[in-house]
Each structure stands twice: as structure tokens, then as C-alpha cells.
Chains A and B, each alone.
Chain A
Amino acid sequence: MSLLRFYAGNAGEALGLLVQHLLLVGASTAVAVALGVPLGIVLTRRPRLRAPVLGAANVFQTIPSLALFGFLIPLPFLGGIGASTAVVALVVYALLPIIRNTYTGIQAIDPAVREAGLGMGLTGGELLRLVELPLALGVIMAGVRVATVIGVGVATIAAAIGAGGLGVYIFRGVAMVNDTLILAGALPAAVMALGFDWGLGWIERKLTPRGVRA
């Protein structure tokens, strides 16, 4: 009840924070896809890079998010206070599932399919575009989905470095020991995570080619 009253009284601010949150997650996921998918493809072509790249992405994943935001603040270009720093941190978190799923998705393709493709005279680019990416797309999308859902959660912490988003309410609520305020941030974030999970899951099913759908 008090939550509804709070939203009624602060509709403008709440909506603004929600949009900010969506932008943080959307921008960081988009950058992570743009970096992660090509990187995952490179790993399938250069197996020797696999261990170091996935290892590094793994290590980033283990840094507590609050600490990562803190580490980034003093860095030139990437760091500072505000949304751009938060996006950098969120990209770092989103990269691992996207790189890993791109790599695994392509790697899991039946070797006979790749051999037949090369043997019948597809070039490397044609094999990637016509065979490998379409067959791996479902798995890649699953990685994007995981990355996005994680991003929604981690982005709440971005409020700590002045990036805005729903975390603003959560931090404020914690500071004021006000459950309603905490809920005002946490509840829409949870719903957003569920929404992304469902929506991207739907896209994932749509993108899985008919001939290989379970």
C-alpha cells in the first residue's frame, strides 16, 4: 500500500530512474554483444587464445561488482563518476556469458557439418555466415539472455557511483532504513529481469532454426 502511495507521489522520478536503468542495461548489453560475439568467433579460429581470453573474462566475473565500480572511478577515459563508467563495468560482466556461449555454440556443431561445408567449397566467411552462426544462434542468444539478466541486477549497484537507475531508491532506502523505498527500487528491477528473461527466451526460441529445434 505504502509502495503504491510512494509511486503515486513520485511517478515522474520513478519513471526516470526506470528508463535510466533500462538504458544502462541496454547500452552495456549492446556493447558486450558487439565485442563478445566477434571475440567468441575468433576463439573458435584460434584455439590457443581460448584459455587466456575465457580465463580473463572469468576473473573479471569474480570481482565483486561494488569493488569493480570503485576500481573504475580513478581510471582515465573509462572511469570517473557517472553512467559511462557504469556501462564499462556492466560490459565487463556481460562479456563472459556472451563470449563463452558464442564459442561453445559454434564448437558444438557436428564436425561432419563443418567438414562437409569446407569440402564442398564454402569459404571461411560463407561457412560462418550460412552454417556456423545460424546453427549457434540459439546458444548465443541464451548467453545474451544470461548477460542481460545479470546486468539488470548489477546495474542497481551502479547508483553507488552516480549512474542513476533503480539502485538510487535501494541505496536511499538502505540509508534511511525504509523498506518501502528499497522495494520501490528492487521490485521493478526484479520484474525487469524476469521480463528480459522471458522476452529474450522467446527470441531465442524463434531464432533456433526449425531443423534443429528440440
Chain B
Amino acid sequence: MSPAGDGAAASCRRASVALADGRFALQDLTLDVARGETLVLLGRSGSGKTTTLKLLNALLLPTAGDVTVEGRATRDWEPHRLRRRIGYVIQDTGLFPHFTVERNVALLPTLERWEPDRVRARVLEMLALVGLDAARFLHRYPRELSGGERQRVGIARALAADPALLLMDEPFGALDPLTRSELQREFKALCARLGKTIVFVTHDVREALLLGTRLALLAEGRLAFAGPPAEFRRAEHPEARAFAATLDP
């Protein structure tokens, strides 16, 4: 048996990431990601949220401890095989500027050698899912899109190959407040509909409470709190109280 908990989509066991200067980006993290949950990693800049996310898709390997996805250590996966099963959305979207919206969304299914008809249908399905009118957007280039539209395309691209796990690194962080809350609401509805396992990084406690079915608070590379949103406000850890305090005017 793997040391991961039964049914966990992914898990970290005493995972650490040491930096070259001897400090730790992440220290001794033990955390399971349960199937179907939206786990929000909350913390300040430099607290280890993004590091945790990159451990899950093997953009980083733990310098100590284990990270397993689907019961298999990330260091034993062939990196690109693992990553193709995991959707990845980042703040700057990272859309390919020389590809149209259609090619961006179609890329992974195409590389996975889906039939062209199936790829085409999938692209249309994904654009509809994120609320973009295919007729208007299919042939546009990323720079012809607004920030919110780009982020929608980013999500469509991440979901295109039907990943079991979706990683999101402050996907709404660079958007204006109105667009952000619009996307947050839509995304919450989307999560409920798709039933995907999602790990979502943010430094915005409101966003965390809105979207998360479970919260994990990181402080200076260590796990400070993990539990459902309702418990977060009662958490004792000073970092949790500091975050909770920002909620009250």
C-alpha cells in the first residue's frame, strides 16, 4: 500500500523543498487532496503556496519527503505524462501568443492524438463551458482578448484534455475587482458542476472562503491550518487570526 490516504487524489508526506541557501520554501508539509474537493491554499507571498502546487505537477520535486499523485510518487512519473493528467492555470495565463484561441485550447487533445472532429467538438464544448461565444472567439489571438477573457481561455485550455486534477495559481489575481468577482462566481458554479479535484492558490482570504470546500493555510513554508472554511475563523494559529482579522472592517 502507498502511504497516501485511501481515495486521495494527491498527497504530500513530510514534503520539504530546501533552497540553495539552506532555507526552506516548504517544510514538512503533510496534506491530502481528497477527490472532488476544492482545496484552497492560502498564505502570504513566499509562504510556499506556489511551491506546493508545483510539487503536485512535478515542476518541482521534494528535496525530502514524498509527493504522490494517483498513488504514485511524482519522481516516478514521467513528468509530461503526469502533467497531461493535471490541468494548470496560472495568473499570467501563459496562453501561447502565436496560437489562436482555438489552437490554444486544442493543443493537448491534438498532442494526445484525438480525432480532429473530436478535438473540434471538445474546443467548442470547453468555450461554452467558460462562457465564451465560439463564433466570436475561436480565431482571435490572446492579445486581442481582455484579461478576463484570457483567463477563461486559460481555464478552457486546462480542462480540454479532461484532467483528473486542476491546479490553479492565483488565476484571478490580475483581474479588476468586478471581472474577478464575476469569474469567481462562475467558477464556483463550474466546480460544482464538474466535480473535479481542484487545488487553488490565493492570498485573498475572501476568495479562499468563497471557493474552497477546504482551506490550507501556509505560513513561512509550514502548514498553519487545514480544515473547512467554517472552522477557519475559529482557528488559533496567529497567521490564521491575522487573515481572519482582515475580513472584519
Contact = CB atoms under 8 A, between A and B. Distances in A.
Contact of A135 (B85, B93, B97): B97
Interface stretch (A115-123, A146-154, A184-192): A115-123
B96 A117 contact: yes
Contacts of A119: 57, 59, 83, 88, 90, 94, 167
B95 interface: yes
B113 interface: no
Contacts of A135: 96-98
B135 interface: no
Interface string A104-134: 0000001011111111111100100011001
A201 B97 CA distance: 22
A177 interface: no
Contact of B96 (A113, A115, A121, A123): A113
Interface string B31-67: 0000000000000000000000000010100000000
Nearest to A119: B88
Contacts of B154: 116
Given A120-B108, A120-B157, A211-B143, A134 B98 contact: yes
Contacts of B136: none
A74 interface: no
Contacts, number: 78
B60 to A, nearest CB: 11
Contacts of A110: 92, 94, 97
Given A118-B59, A119-B59, A211-B141, A113 B94 contact: yes
A112 B59 contact: no
B108 to A, nearest CB: 6
B158 interface: yes
Given A120-B158, A121-B108, A126-B111, A112 B93 contact: yes
Contacts of A121: 79-86, 108, 111
Contacts of A134: 98
B190 to A, nearest CB: 19
B90 A115 contact: yes
A110 B108 CA distance: 20
Of the four ranges (under 10, 10 to 19, 20 to 34, 35 or more), the interface on chain B belongs to: 20 to 34
B24 interface: no
A123 B95 CA distance: 17
A211 B142 contact: yes
B90 A113 contact: no
Given A115-B90, A211-B143, A120 B97 contact: no
B145 to A, nearest CB: 11
Contact of B94 (A116, A130, A209, A211): A116
A139 to B, nearest CB: 13
Interface residues of A, number: 22
Contacts of A209: 97-98
B142 to A, nearest CB: 6
Contacts of A120: 83-84, 87-88, 107-108, 157-158
A208 B120 CA distance: 26
Nearest to B94: A116
A113 B97 contact: yes
B100 interface: yes
B137 interface: no
B97 A212 contact: yes
A46 interface: no
A113 B104 CA distance: 11
Contacts of B158: 120
A48 interface: no
B187 interface: no
Given A112-B93, A121-B82, 19 more contacts: A110-B97, A112-B91, A113-B94, A113-B96, A114-B94, A116-B90, A117-B94, A118-B83, A119-B59, A119-B167, A120-B84, A121-B79, A121-B85, A122-B111, A123-B80, A130-B107, A210-B98, A211-B97, A211-B99
19 contacts: A113-B96, A114-B94, A115-B90, A115-B94, A116-B93, A116-B154, A119-B90, A119-B94, A120-B87, A120-B88, A120-B157, A121-B80, A121-B108, A122-B80, A131-B96, A135-B97, A209-B97, A211-B99, A211-B143
